[in-house]
Structure 1
Amino acid sequence: MNIFLRELKANLKALIIWSVCMVLLIMGSMEEFTAYSSSVGGSNVFDKMPYSIKALMGMGSFDITTMAGYFAMLFVYIELASAIHAVLLGSGIIAKEERDKTTEFLMVKPVSRINVITSKFFAALVNVLIINLVSFVSSLMMVNAYNKGEYVTKKIVIFFVSMFIVQIVFLSLGAALASVMKKPKVSGAWSAGILMGSFIIAKITDLTDKVNVINVFSPFKYFSYKDIVDGKSIDVSIVVLCIVLVIIFVSSTYLFYKNRDLKV
């Protein structure tokens, strides 16, 4: 419990900053919806855009004059930001003891490394959940303030459930990388690089469906925004895939951290 509380306290400042940034991102972006939904000329401009440009901007085939379509476009960036937070957090909970020279302080406590990792994971999960809830509540408030059309609350709930799953995947990935790498101090850069690589893959497959097979390497493509906008629920098989990935990453974290030679 002491390690759990220590981790919560250590990450509190970063959590507040990330939460504020997420709220500002959502508020700033939602304020533009009125311009898109009320401008017929603007809608025609977007309709005439090449699909490739719209895909790169996150619009895809969405009708951004509707709240559901506009939020789907915005959600690309909400999920990207939350995933960056999760992967850096996962890497940080493992690497920071060696980075901050606090390994000796932690290891002299009468707890096993397994208990240390478990406490760190639970603290990280709390942080990820808070970011998700802050983003969800902010989105719901802004959508209700600007939405004049169809009821989209259920769709927003599904969006954020899918985002939480993606957050957990990247959280566990970051932790696994920090445990496996011989230089955990640089694991954050590697984690962020892999995340951006998966985001680039998502953009590539947005441009063409001829290489959709590589979507397996991008958690950003595991859940279809279009399906959510169309009112479909989350694919259970994809949830199972994510659970398997999390189990693999978490198991790797425990295995390699338990056996690694920690530097003080």
Structure 2
Amino acid sequence: MTIIRHELKQSRISLIIWTVAIGFLLAVCIFMFPEMKGEMEEVNDVFSSMGSFTQAFGMDKVNFGTLLGFYSVECGNILGLGGAFFASLCAISVLSKEEKERTAEFLLTHPVSRVRVVAEKLISVLLQIVILNAVVYAIAVLSIAFIGETAPWQEITLMHTAYLLLQLELAGVCFGVSAFLRRGSIGTGLGIAVIMYFLNIIANLTESAEFLKYITPFGYADGAEIVRNVSLDMNMIAIGILFAVIGISAGFVKYGRKDIS
């Protein structure tokens, strides 16, 4: 538990900043809905005539005149991208930073196995992701209550669950990559998140690329699809869990054998 507490203490400023930023943007987005509600019919007409752009972001599947349709696209992009960046950045440096900051010889000379070091670092990353999502969900609930809208909580909860799973998958993959790095790389973490985001856009644009949805976690965290089906795609989620498990396993194996300088 000592390593978990230490990691959480070291990351507390980053966690607070990302949570406040995502929560603030989400609340602002929700507060904008009552002002824009009367103009949403025109917005729907505009989006429906934008061809590929509309398909890329799933705007052809929802009605912007409803809170749920507005939330799934506008708030969904904030939660999806913001959460993905946070999870990737948390995980990509968690194993490599000991070499980068030259603290490895202090940590690894203690009577604690490498397996335990890796396990506690992983737990600290997962806890940060859960904390961020719990706070953001609470902000969403309070913001929707404040504007006096009746929200379909089943769909909204499913969306938030999908974003949480997305972040956990990306964290698992980046956690594994982190074990192979020696100096850490923020760019690598952000790059993985961005690539996964654009793979989903490509999959939305053309039927021949729909298989990409089984590669990117954004495939099952598509707010428009969740709203339309009122369910999550368990096949895609199962594949995502597999990718996360592979990444985490690779992290344990590589770090256990790594010659740490």
The answer to whether the superposition gives a TM-score over 0.5 is yes
Listed as ranges, the matches of 1:85-234 within 5 Å are 85-146=86-147, 148=149, 151-181=151-181, 183-186=182-185, 188-234=186-232
Structure 1 residue 231, shift from structure 2 partner: 4.9
**Is the alpha carbon distance of 1:111 and 1:89 closer, same or farther for their aligned partners in structure 2, counting shifts above 3 Å?**
same
Equivalent residue letter for 1:42: E
The CA distance in 2 between the partners of 1:154 and 1:147, in whole Å, is 18
Q: Which residue number corresponds to residue 3 of structure 2?
A: 3
Contact 1:172 1:249 in 2 (8 A): yes
Whether contact under 8 Å (1:36, 1:43) holds in the other structure is no
Which deviations, in whole Å up to 9, do the C-alpha atoms of 1:231-255 show, x marking residues without a partner?
Answer: 5222322232222112111100000
Structure 1: runs of 5 or more not aligned: none
1:244 corresponds to: 242
Distance in 2 of aligned mates of 1:204 and 1:27: 29
Question: Which segment is superposed worse, 111-120 or 47-56?
Answer: 47-56
Where does structure 2 lack aligned partners over 5 or more consecutive residues? none
Deviation (angstroms), 1:139 = 1.3
Does the C-alpha gap of structure 1 residues 87 and 220 become closer, same or farther in structure 2, counting only changes over 3 Å?
same
Asked if the contact 1:86–1:167 (Cα under 8 Å) also holds between the matched residues in 2, the reply is yes
Summarize the alignment of residues 16-35 of structure 1 with structure 2, pairs less than 5 Å apart.
16-35=16-35
Distance 1:65 1:147, change over 3 A: farther
Moved more, 48-57 or 30-39: 48-57
The letter for the 1-side match of 2:91 is: G
With over 3 angstroms needed to count, the CA separation of the structure-2 counterparts of 1:260 and 1:229, relative to structure 1, is same
Query: Matches of 1:55 and 1:152 in 2, distance apart?
Result: 24
One-letter code aligned to 1:173 = V
- Judge conservation of contact 2:203–2:213 (CA < 8 Å) in 1: yes
CA distance in 2, matches of 1:194, 1:155: 28
SS of equivalent residue, structure 1 residue 177 = helix
Residues in 2 aligned to 1:41 and 1:239: alpha-carbon distance in whole angstroms: 34
Q: CA deviation at 1:61?
A: 2.5
Q: Given residue 80 of structure 2, which amino acid in structure 1 is its aligned partner?
A: E
Q: Specify the alignment match of 2:36 in structure 1.
A: 36
Where 2:94 maps in the other structure, the secondary structure is helix
1:69 matches 2:75: no
Instruction: Indicate the percent of aligned positions where both proteins have the same amino acid.
Output: 22
Cα distance in 2, alignment partners of residues 35 and 70 from structure 1: 12
**1:59 and 2:32 aligned:** no
Deviation at 1:48, TM superposition (A): 4.9
In structure 2, relative to structure 1, the CA distance for the partners of 1:243 and 1:57 (3 Å cut) is closer
2:238 partner letter: V
1:124-150 superposed Cα distances (whole Å, 9 cap, x missing partner): 11100011111111112222333535x
Q: Which moved more, 1:198-207 or 1:234-243?
A: 234-243
CA contact (8 A) 2:95 2:175 kept: yes
* Matched length: 260
RMSD: 1.9
